[in-house]
Structure 1
Amino acid sequence: MPFLLFAVVVAFVALTVFRLRKVGRRPPGYPPGPPTWPLIGNLHLMPKEKPHLQFQKWAEEYGPIYSLILGTKVMVVLSSDQAIKDLLDKRSAIYSSRPDMYLGMVVSGGMRMLLMEYGDTWRMVRKIVHNNLNIKAARTYVPYQELENKAMLMGLLEKPDLFFDHIRRYTNSLTTQMIFGFRTTSIDDPKLKQLFHGFEKFSNVVGTQTAALLDLFPILRRLPDMVLPLRRYAKELHKKELELYVGHWLDVKKAIKEKTARPSFCIDLVRAQDAEGFSDLLAGYVSGSLLEAGSDTTAATLVGFVQAMLLFPNVAKAAQEELDRVCGDEFPTLDDMPDLPYIRGLIKESLRWMPTDILGVPHAVIRDDEYMGYTIPKGAGVMWNVWAVHMDPKRHPDPRRFDPARYAHDNQTAAEAANNADASKRDHFVFGAGRRLCQGMHIAERSLFLAIARMLWAFDLRLALDADGNEVKPDADDLTEGLMVCPRPFPARIVPRDEAKVARVRAEWSKMEDVLDDDLQWKVLPEGLIWKDYSQATDAP
């Protein structure tokens, strides 16, 4: 009997060793990549900070498609516009899922649209979102954008040092109006601060090495929370997200049912919930995901724009010359956009120069595939290396120079560029690819135009001065860490260009005050909004 037990143990150990012998190795036929170690593959090479720089180096060494063997998982990295077009766009039917991102799912309760696997639930949610963010719907939100933009300009007049906060309130309030039907009127709003703080922490958690280890070695998930403090923290973040997102949802849902709510996206979401029967938790995360997307990325891009104007003052000067020539003393409007090619180029360059989703959010392939003679296995994560494409000197000469003239002859909208059959003609990759392409890009593009054109028309953006009167230059490489990035806080002097423009900004805001009540909410909503009253929906079962 002891001999039999010994034989069983030896056989088990031998079988385990046999199964593990290939773990960490790069199988023949896979895309090339850095040398691997047994069991861990390339895990030891993964950088703790600024991963985009290392991923760019690997792209330069291994080409437009390379692979990283991360324990039991494979990550295929696409680092050229053509590879992204060929796989994520042209083969989107099999490249639209998401890899397992365990801690991200813990924070999100498995319901964040950004991380959701491709399937029936994702398709249902995407259809609802598309109906509210398509190009036709986007046009109806312009009055919201006008109002919030003018409120931001007033904030810059009165408290210019708080430009980070004014920008975030601008993008957040626009989004709360579209999603929930109310304005965010103060830069000190606690829910505004909670949103940006929470999304930054979510992004940080997902980007940690601990998160990567839990994705690559699922057996580690069995460890208790006392050994995995980051998971305990992720659970705490989830509770706070539930409080914010589901709280917003339940408040507006109740008002919609009682027919006291202002028109918003949530009316369509209530109608869909009546028909499909999904939970309040999912509804809260659908609306919360849109709140994140509409608030964070556009705000981060605008912060990057301010930083670029400080570092490249000649660009700001050229943009102001165009604005003065075309608009003169008149307030820039969306109607001026066709006549402001340099401003349009400046928007594109802002998105290229400081991409918020610096390494993209990885896709996953749902079946075996082949590309450029390489095998891409089912279940592999597929990263679209946004930074490497944006900083490719063959695509963009002297890529760290901020130069709107790169787009002198590019009259495409972001959507047109993303769908251009010629991958080299795409302006930037911030809005995603394939079926995961951002549906709110039309809205974001207008918000960026209004903010950038009017800030440069009304203000000079200058370097801050230290206590000794020396100019303080921000560091363009000093970014937050995580899935999504933003320049870390930096000082700037935002100074009105002249008194006439100050007077015009105040006059424009005065017009807006006439349409707001004592709580700074709309007295009467703008005409043309797409949402029908809930009472017109079919009766819920």
Structure 2
Amino acid sequence: MGILVAAVLTATLLVLYKLRNVGRRPKDFPPGPPTLPIIGNLHQMPKEKAHLQFKKWADEYGPVYSLMLGSSVMVVLSSDCAIKDLLDKRSDIYSSRPPLYIGQMLSGGLRMLLMEYGKTWRMIRGTVHNHLNIKASTSYVPYQDLENRQMLLGFLDQPQRWIDHLRRYTNSLTTQMVFGFRTTDVDDKDMHRLYTGFAGFSETLGSPEAHLLEAYPFLCHLPDALLPIKKRARELHEKELQLFLGHWLNAKKKIQDGTANPCICIDLANSQNKEHFSDPLASYISGSLLEAGSDTTWSTLVGWVQAMVLFPEVARKAQEEVDRVCGERFPMLEDEPNMQYVRGCVKESMRWMPTAILGVPHAVIRDDMYMGYRIPKGASVMWNVWGVHNDESRFPNPRVFDPTRYADDFQSAAEAAKNGDATKRDHFLFGAGRRVCQGMHIAERSLFLAYSRLLWAFNFETEKDENGEEMRVDADELTEGVFVQPKKFSVRIVKRSEERAATLRREWENVADKLDEEGQWKRVPEGMYFKEYIPLGT
């Protein structure tokens, strides 16, 4: 009996000994808000509008601060130099991901975005890079031009459905690149399943319940009845896998039959033959590309439309530039070098309303020192996008949409990301280090084509209610989750002239004859950057 009591007492003391420092901030860690035993700063984590609190902490504790979240540590980088110094210059140890239990459950462990740095991630990255590098990306311009023209026609005929026209624009561009088919209908069920599923993924991954499980991993073993988020995550994953797998297997069959249009999936099929990875993994590689190319660019476009409503003087100045360069002629991508103010709109839209508002956290794989502080192995490292983008010393009056911030910035997003001087980077929406977005060239072009042509053809005005009063548009009201966009708002879209409306219709007719009865390409444009399929065993 005495031995049993002694064993229980010893075990209790060991547990208490291990718990004594949980939640406390070691003296050599970056500074941060005061902690409480066991929970650390967990009680201070906001349930909504987290980006605002993270900015306040940056103002108080500096460009590098830490949060003690139960048994885990989060280091927050809130300056351009800190992001450059750690995520870029020390990318060999800052390129992994934290465990993100709910994130992996949402993805079945298959989503490249959340994978730890390793062999599988590098294999996927290499396959994708072949198609998204700057040389390959220029070959997709015919796709972008076509989808943009159909989007403009939709704005003309159904302006009240402008959000869906933007959705189809970015989605169809990506389905062509990845799977070889166009999304022709704004009511396409698979398209809406994609956007709905990604919204669920973003909201669930960014939920307080998900953060709690990161703070106390032992809670992950509790039954689903006590953790309903686990059931929700599994259901979202099952629906997503069904959508992704359907797209992949359809493309794979056409590739093997020799009936597929050129697309990224051809290279993916070749990689599968060589590396022998599963169809579910292949489906998540291609499906994740579809998500990334569709949702984030769409959300940025929605944010830009809101900015044009809130800052009509910016829209007028941009229209003056477009009119000066093009007159009554339809704007083309070749006009970009002569439209620096519109180029500024592209950069400013990604600064003013960044979709990845707090980034997706990196993880450091070994202890490191920075600015005299210790960053421990396994810590989550967040790049505080909103905090940097709203740093008053970097961007005066940051909540004003001002494209002149970039009047002398002639860099592309890729050039800016590689600039050795962190203060010369335009924005941090596309990430940093080895996790930087590979599709930024394509996104920039899609945004420029959309902004220049929409401004050329339409005015964006504040909608009025039944009493003739202007309806309120609030830029501070954003959706919740890891990826955000403005909450629903009203806008009145008006064609600038009958002549330009007629030009839009003619420009669509000029490309419509290249499509078959189902709206698919009769013949894919020449010069597309795609490889040929090599059958297994050849």
TM-score, normalised to structure 2's length?
Answer: 0.99
**2:153 — aligned with what?**
154
Structure 2, unmatched stretches of 5+, are none
2:532 & 2:96 partners in 1: Cα distance? 34
How far 1:540 sits from its partner (Å)?
3.3
1:311–1:473 contact (8 Å) kept in structure 2: no
Say which SS state the counterpart of residue 447 (structure 1) adopts: helix
**1:121 — aligned with what?**
120
How far 1:58 sits from its partner (Å)?
0.2
| Partner AA of 1:96 in structure 2 | S
2:526 & 2:454 partners in 1: Cα distance? 27
1:418 & 1:532 partners in 2: Cα distance? 28
**Deviations 1:373-413 (CA, angstroms, capped at 9, x unpaired):** 00000000000000000000100000000000111100000
Select 2:537's aligned residue among 527, 537, 540: 540
1:368 & 1:58 partners in 2: Cα distance? 24
| Partner AA of 1:344 in structure 2 | R
1:337 & 1:131 partners in 2: Cα distance? 25
Say which SS state the counterpart of residue 92 (structure 1) adopts: coil
2:267–2:532 contact (8 Å) kept in structure 1: no
How far 1:230 sits from its partner (Å)?
1.1
**1:421 — aligned with what?**
420
| Partner AA of 2:195 in structure 1 | F
User: Is residue 2:111 matched to residue 1:109?
Assistant: no
2:10 & 2:88 partners in 1: Cα distance? 48
**2:76 — aligned with what?**
77
Q: How do 1:125-136 and structure 2 match up within 5 A?
A: 125-136=124-135
1:303 & 1:19 partners in 2: Cα distance? 49
**Deviations 1:198-229 (CA, angstroms, capped at 9, x unpaired):** 00000000011110111121111111111111
1:319–1:342 contact (8 Å) kept in structure 2: yes
| Partner AA of 1:503 in structure 2 | A
How far 1:28 sits from its partner (Å)?
1.6
Q: How do 1:58-73 and structure 2 match up within 5 A?
A: 58-73=57-72
Q: How do 1:16-415 and structure 2 match up within 5 A?
A: 16-415=15-414
2:456 & 2:260 partners in 1: Cα distance? 37
1:237 & 1:338 partners in 2: Cα distance? 43
**2:470 — aligned with what?**
471
Say which SS state the counterpart of residue 462 (structure 2) adopts: strand
1:539 & 1:97 partners in 2: Cα distance? 32
2:148 & 2:254 partners in 1: Cα distance? 28
2:256–2:535 contact (8 Å) kept in structure 1: no
1:241 & 1:532 partners in 2: Cα distance? 28
2:462–2:490 contact (8 Å) kept in structure 1: yes
Say which SS state the counterpart of residue 142 (structure 1) adopts: helix
TM-score, normalised to structure 1's length?
Answer: 0.99
1:188 & 1:538 partners in 2: Cα distance? 36
| Partner AA of 2:55 in structure 1 | Q
Structure 1, unmatched stretches of 5+, are none
How far 1:38 sits from its partner (Å)?
0.6
How far 1:4 sits from its partner (Å)?
1.2
How far 1:538 sits from its partner (Å)?
6.2
Say which SS state the counterpart of residue 464 (structure 1) adopts: coil
1:34–1:42 contact (8 Å) kept in structure 2: yes
1:151 & 1:313 partners in 2: Cα distance? 25
1:310–1:473 contact (8 Å) kept in structure 2: no
1:336 & 1:258 partners in 2: Cα distance? 41
1:161–1:491 contact (8 Å) kept in structure 2: no
Say which SS state the counterpart of residue 472 (structure 1) adopts: coil
2:66–2:75 contact (8 Å) kept in structure 1: yes
| Partner AA of 2:308 in structure 1 | M
| Partner AA of 2:386 in structure 1 | W
**Deviations 1:92-138 (CA, angstroms, capped at 9, x unpaired):** 01000001111111010001011011000000000000001000110
1:50–1:481 contact (8 Å) kept in structure 2: yes
Residues matched between the structures, number? 538
How far 1:533 sits from its partner (Å)?
2.7
Say which SS state the counterpart of residue 457 (structure 1) adopts: helix
How far 1:539 sits from its partner (Å)?
4.0
2:330–2:503 contact (8 Å) kept in structure 1: yes
**2:444 — aligned with what?**
445
| Partner AA of 2:252 in structure 1 | K
Say which SS state the counterpart of residue 411 (structure 2) adopts: coil
Q: Share of identical aligned residues, percent?
A: 63
Say which SS state the counterpart of residue 246 (structure 1) adopts: helix
1:263 & 1:399 partners in 2: Cα distance? 43
1:275–1:540 contact (8 Å) kept in structure 2: no
1:134–1:440 contact (8 Å) kept in structure 2: yes
